Chains A and B, each alone.
Chain A
C-alpha cells in the first residue's frame, strides 16, 4: 500500500513538475533519420571497400556470412533497445527510427540467407532441405527468418492501421526472433567452445527483455493500486 502510494506520487511529480528536458518532436527525429539510414548501411558498404582492398580474408564467403549474421543480431538488438531508450530518456518520438532499424535487421538477414542459398548451398534445394532438417542451428536460423518475414511485410503504416491491436501482438514476435538468433549463434559456436560473443549478445538481449518484464510488472502494480 505504502509503496504504491510512493511510486504513484513519483509518477505524478514527473508529470506535473517542470519538464526536465525538452521533448524532441516527431519532425526533429525525422530529420536525423537519413543519418541513421547511412550509419546502418555502413557495414554493407564496408564489404565493398574491403572487397576492393583485398580485405575480405582468404575466405570472403565465410567473412560475408559471419558479418551479415553479426549485423542482423546487432540491428535486432538496436531495434529492441529503442523502447527502453525512449522510456529512459523520456523521448517518445524516438519511435520514429524503430521501423528503419527493424527493416535493416531484415535487410542483413536476407543477405545472410542469400549467402547461404547462393554461395554455400549453390542453389541446390535438396541440400538446403537436408541442412535445415539435419542441423539444429540452421533450423533455428531458418525459423527466425520465417518469423521476420511477416514483420517486414506488415511494417507499413497501412498494415499498422489494418491490423490495429493485432499489429502490436504480431510484432511481439521480435522477442522470439531475438532468442532464436542468439541460440542459432550459440550452437554455431558450440563446436569451438568459444561462447564469449554469444554470451555478450545474449546478455544484452536478456537485459532488453527483462526491462520490458519489469515495466509490465510495475504497470500492473500501479493499475492495481
Chain B
C-alpha cells in the first residue's frame, strides 16, 4: 500500500493537488477552531477560517457563459475578498463577519441532497454526482440583498432545472422548497432562536425551472467557500439574497406554498416572493437605492432596478399579479 504513489505524476499546474488543499484546509479549520475556542474570533479575519480562496479547488470543465459575462453588467465585479468576507449566514451568527470567522468548521464532505415530494423519481444525490449532472458554467449575476446593498458575483453552476428534470416533477408540483443543513457542532448560530431552524426557502415551480435560477457550486472559478454556502446553494438573481438558500441538503416539491423562514419570522417585512422591487419599501428602510459593496466611501447609493435588472427575462412570470401585495 505504501508503495502507491500519493500524487499523480502529471498534475495540471492550475490545480492544487487534493491532498494538499485538504490538508491546508484542515489546518485552516483547526486554526479557526482554535481562534473560536479561545474567544479570539477576530483572528479569523487574519487566518480566514473556512477558506482562504487559494485553498479551494477549481471547478473542472468550467465554461464561461457569454450571455452572462461581466461585460454585460454596467458595474464592476465585487472583489473576491468582499464576496467572501461580508456575508449573511445566520447559522454562524448575525454579524457580517461571523460566517468567515466560524464557517470553517462546517463539514461539507460527504454531502448528499435529498429530493422528494411531488416527483416521479425521488432520489438522493451525492455531491460528486451533482457536480457532473450538467455542464458547469460561469455566470456573472447582480446580487441585491434585502438590506439595500449589492454585489456583482461570478457564480459557477448550472440551471436548477437540470436537477429538477432528473426527478420528474408531477403535475401537482407547484412549489419547490430548499432546506439548509443543520450542524449544531459547527454552527453556533443555531443556539440563537432568531430563526426556527433549519433555514427554509422556496420558489414557485416556474421560478425554480427558470433558466436564470442557478444551482451554484462555486464563485470566482473555484468551489464555494463555506461562508458562501458550500458545497452547493441556490442563486435566484432577480430576488433578494435571502431567497437564495445556502448549503442545501433537501429539496421538497409540493402542491401548496411551503413555509419560508423570513416569512415565518416577520410576515409584514418579508414576503414569499422577495422580488427585488424599488417601489415597495421595507418597513424600516427604502428599497429605492442600494449601496454598492466595494465602491468608494463617498460614492452615493445607486438606484435599484426592478427585478434587479432581470425584468426582461422574468417579468412575464408575474403578469397580472399585484407586486405590492405579493412582495
Whether A59 pairs with B266 at a CB distance below 8 angstroms is no
Whether B284 pairs with A188 at a CB distance below 8 angstroms is yes
A13 lies within 8 A of chain B by Cβ = no
Whether B291 pairs with A191 at a CB distance below 8 angstroms is no
**Other-chain contact of A120, B284, B294, B301 (Cβ < 8 Å):** B301
- Of chain B, the residue at the smallest CB distance from A130 is B286
Whether A59 pairs with B301 at a CB distance below 8 angstroms is no
Whether A131 pairs with B286 at a CB distance below 8 angstroms is yes
Tell me which of B194, B266, B269, B286 has the highest count of chain A C-beta atoms within 10 A of its own C-beta: B286
Whether A57 pairs with B97 at a CB distance below 8 angstroms is yes
**Other-chain contact of A61, B266, B283, B297 (Cβ < 8 Å):** B297
Whether B293 pairs with A59 at a CB distance below 8 angstroms is yes
B40 lies within 8 A of chain A by Cβ = no
Whether B96 pairs with A193 at a CB distance below 8 angstroms is no
| Known contacts A57-B96, A59-B96, A61-B291: A194-B194 contact under CB 8 Å | yes
- Of chain B, the residue at the smallest CB distance from A122 is B300
- Of chain B, the residue at the smallest CB distance from A120 is B301
Whether B286 pairs with A193 at a CB distance below 8 angstroms is no
Complex Cα distance A135/B82, Å?
30
Chain A 8-31: CB-based contact to B (< 8 A → 1; otherwise 0): 000000000000000000000000
A192 lies within 8 A of chain B by Cβ = yes
| B residues less than 8 Å from A150 (CB atoms) | none
Contact residues, A181-219 vs B (CB, 8 A): 187-188, 190-194
Whether B97 pairs with A135 at a CB distance below 8 angstroms is no
A127 lies within 8 A of chain B by Cβ = yes
Chain A 115-156: CB-based contact to B (< 8 A → 1; otherwise 0): 000111010000100110011010000000000000000000
Interface size on B, residues (CB 8 A): 29
Whether B96 pairs with A58 at a CB distance below 8 angstroms is yes
Whether B265 pairs with A193 at a CB distance below 8 angstroms is yes
Contact residues, B226-278 vs A (CB, 8 A): 265-266, 269
| A residues less than 8 Å from B193 (CB atoms) | 193
B149 lies within 8 A of chain A by Cβ = yes
A60 lies within 8 A of chain B by Cβ = yes
Whether A62 pairs with B283 at a CB distance below 8 angstroms is no
Q: How far is the CB of A11 from chain B (nearest CB, A)?
A: 45
Interface size on A, residues (CB 8 A): 24
Complex Cα distance A62/B97, Å?
13
Complex Cα distance A51/B296, Å?
12
Whether B284 pairs with A59 at a CB distance below 8 angstroms is no
Complex Cα distance A61/B86, Å?
13
| A residues less than 8 Å from B289 (CB atoms) | 122
- Of chain B, the residue at the smallest CB distance from A119 is B298
- Of chain B, the residue at the smallest CB distance from A196 is B192
- Of chain A, the residue at the smallest CB distance from B266 is A191
Whether B291 pairs with A122 at a CB distance below 8 angstroms is no
Whether B149 pairs with A59 at a CB distance below 8 angstroms is yes
Chain B 55-98: CB-based contact to A (< 8 A → 1; otherwise 0): 00000000000000000000000000110011000000010110
Whether B194 pairs with A122 at a CB distance below 8 angstroms is no
Whether A137 pairs with B96 at a CB distance below 8 angstroms is no
Complex Cα distance A58/B86, Å?
6
Contact residues, B191-208 vs A (CB, 8 A): 192-195
Q: How far is the CB of B232 from chain A (nearest CB, A)?
A: 23
| A residues less than 8 Å from B284 (CB atoms) | 135, 137, 187-188, 190-191
Complex Cα distance A127/B86, Å?
27
Complex Cα distance A135/B298, Å?
24
Complex Cα distance A92/B284, Å?
44
Q: How far is the CB of A134 from chain B (nearest CB, A)?
A: 7
Tell me which of A51, A57, A60, A118 has the highest count of chain B C-beta atoms within 10 A of its own C-beta: A57
B184 lies within 8 A of chain A by Cβ = no
Tell me which of B86, B284, B300, B301 has the highest count of chain A C-beta atoms within 10 A of its own C-beta: B284
Complex Cα distance A83/B286, Å?
41
Q: How far is the CB of A139 from chain B (nearest CB, A)?
A: 11
**Other-chain contact of B192, A51, A130, A135, A194 (Cβ < 8 Å):** A194
**Shortest Cβ-Cβ A-B pairs, 8 listed:** A58-B86, A58-B82, A122-B300, A193-B194, A58-B293, A194-B94, A60-B297, A192-B94
Q: What would 24 A/B residue contacts be, using CB atoms closer than 8 Å?
A: A51-B297, A57-B96, A57-B97, A58-B85, A58-B96, A59-B86, A119-B297, A119-B300, A120-B301, A122-B289, A122-B300, A122-B301, A127-B286, A131-B285, A131-B286, A135-B283, A135-B285, A187-B284, A190-B284, A192-B94, A192-B194, A193-B193, A194-B192, A194-B194
7 other contacts beyond A61-B291, A134-B281, A187-B284, with CB at 8 A cut-off?
A57-B86, A61-B297, A131-B286, A188-B284, A191-B266, A191-B269, A194-B194
